[in-house]
Amino acid sequence: MISRVLRFIRFSHTIFALPFALGAMLAASRGYSFGLPHLTTIALIVLAMVFARTAAMTFNRLADWEIDQRNPRTADRHTLITRKGAITLLIASSAAFIATTFWINWLCFWLSPVALFIVFFYSITKRFTSLSHFFLGLALSVAPVGAWIAVKGAFAFAPLVLALAVMLWVAGFDLIYATQDYDFDSAESLRSLVVRIGVRPSLLLAQRLHWIMLGLLVAFGALAGLGAIYYASLVLVTGALIYEHHSAARLDVAAINRAFFASNAFVGVVFVVAIFADGLWSGGGMHPL
């Protein structure tokens, strides 16, 4: 049953948002011992991330229950768990997320309903706007801001820049992923930039979003006081994005899926490892802005 639930919420895709949350956590912790917050804080951040994403994905599955059944790519999703089971999972994961933020700090706790609203809202945007890809990016961009607040207990400009980078990164790779559903989305009158402007222009837009994202990652490094190891890692991030776009340009579903998971997972892992290594190298480094 657990394996069916994990498949239902695509648990493996947690790797896309979690590294940016952990990276923001590490950047916020520069100046602490070993550049790390207390282990309890780390555990609570990871739990909050998992619970929030579970709630968001479950809400998305419920919102698209009938649509997914008509889409050949997603037709088997509703066979993994019953609708009643999905509702139970949604309530449990949402409550667990809010409870976890209570143990982090008061600001995280009071903002937790706002975070849930943002991640839930994405699921209905495809019904009224072609900018749904950016709303998905907004949903994932909550993660680094929340992780920063978990450590610092306050807002700052650096995590907001990182959040914008995450939003554009996600919007870009979601545009690539959405090219697989072009025919279905058109037939169902679902709003998508891929339907609105076409496949090739969408792929070009995704490239531009990702180049802007790289610029924002440079800006985040400057604001957070990161060093040479972090900036060197951006070369690897650039290579992964080039690979993703080269694969997407072939318009081959198998190639898109390989590039989607492999390159984006690689980007996240390189990001968090680089910040951790940079912190160790600098001995804690500057206090971020």
pLDDT per residue, tens digit, the chain (289 aa), is 667 665 666 666 666 778 999 999 999 998 665 568 889 999 999 999 999 999 998 998 888 776 666 665 655 666 678 889 889 999 999 999 999 999 999 999 999 999 999 999 998 888 888 899 999 999 999 999 999 999 999 989 999 999 999 999 999 988 988 887 777 777 767 778 888 898 899 999 999 999 999 999 999 999 999 999 999 999 999 999 999 888 888 777 677 777 777 888 899 999 999 999 998 877 554 444 4
Q: What domain count does the chain have?
A: 1
Range of the domain at 118: 2-282
The C-alpha atoms of residue 17 and residue 51 are separated, in whole angstroms, by 13
Position 15 scores a pLDDT of 66
Q: Is residue 145 part of a domain?
A: yes
Q: Is residue 287 part of a domain?
A: no
The C-alpha atoms of residue 166 and residue 116 are separated, in whole angstroms, by 18
Q: Is residue 33 part of a domain?
A: yes
Crossing angle of helices 199-223 and 157-178, rounded to 10°: 160
Q: Which of 186, 220, 194 is nearest to 71 (CA)?
A: 186
Q: How far is CA 126 from the centre of its chain?
A: 18
Q: Is residue 27 part of a domain?
A: yes
CATH code of 71's domain: 1.10.357.140
Q: Is residue 289 part of a domain?
A: no
Q: Is residue 59 part of a domain?
A: yes
**68 burial via Cβ count (<10 Å: 0-12, 13-18, 19+):** middle
Q: Is residue 288 part of a domain?
A: no
Residues facing 30 on adjacent strands: 32
Q: Which of 78, 81, 85, 88 is nearest to 4 (CA)?
A: 81
The C-alpha atoms of residue 66 and residue 245 are separated, in whole angstroms, by 32
The C-alpha atoms of residue 51 and residue 98 are separated, in whole angstroms, by 9
Q: Is residue 19 part of a domain?
A: yes
